[in-house]
Amino acid sequence: MKITITLFCTFIAIVTLVTTDGHANNSVQSEMSHAIGGVVMAGGITWAVDRYYPEYRENRGMIGFGVSTVAIFAEQGVECALHGNAWGQLLDATSHMIGSAIGAWVTDRYILSPVVTNSSAKGQYIGMELRGSF
């Protein structure tokens, strides 16, 4: 079920990117779309790290946030070099970064199963997972 939701959100994001004309403005709707894109992208990367790179599970949230944020800042830097409007590009990247933080955190803490964490201050600890049928 978790994989299906992630794939569906990724599909919607790709279709939206391909079918829209790409002329955005600095409206609330435009910035919300960048934030939602950040949620989906960071959540997907966090899931991929958990699934395919189990040796990095302990830091999967930070990896998802970092890769998503670096990618959007690089993309917006190219857009700024090609079309100008540095303020608009920075606003878009910041909105995406905020969405990335939310997506990586929610995916790491609530969607994926907790992992055993080693900490020098706290020792070894693990979270709790509750499941129920409706």
Could you report the per-residue pLDDT of 37-64, keeping only the tens digit for each? 999 999 999 999 998 998 898 899 999 9
pTM of the model: 0.69
Lowest mean pLDDT among 14-18, 41-45, 66-70: 14-18
What pLDDT does 41 receive? 94
Is the pLDDT score of 94 beyond 90? yes
Contact (CB, 8 A) for 104 and 61? yes
| pLDDT reported for residue 97 | 95
22 domain-assigned: yes
pLDDT at position 25: 72
DSSP secondary structure letters along 19-70: HS-----SSHHHHHHHHHHHHHHHHHHHHHHHHH-GGGGGGHHHHHHHHHHH
Whether 130 maps to a domain, the answer reads no
Q: Does the residue 133 lie in any domain?
A: no
Domain extent at residue 27: 2-125
Which residue, among 74, 54, 62, 49, has the nearest Cα to 103 in the 3D structure?
62
Domains: count for the chain = 1
* 55: in domain: yes
In angstroms, the CA 37 to CA 98 distance is: 10
Q: Which residue has the higher pLDDT, 39 or 13?
A: 39
Q: List the single range of 7-16, 81-90, 102-111 with lowest mean pLDDT.
A: 7-16
- Of 77, 52, 75, nearest in space to 64 by CA: 52
Whether residue 11 lies inside any domain: the answer is yes
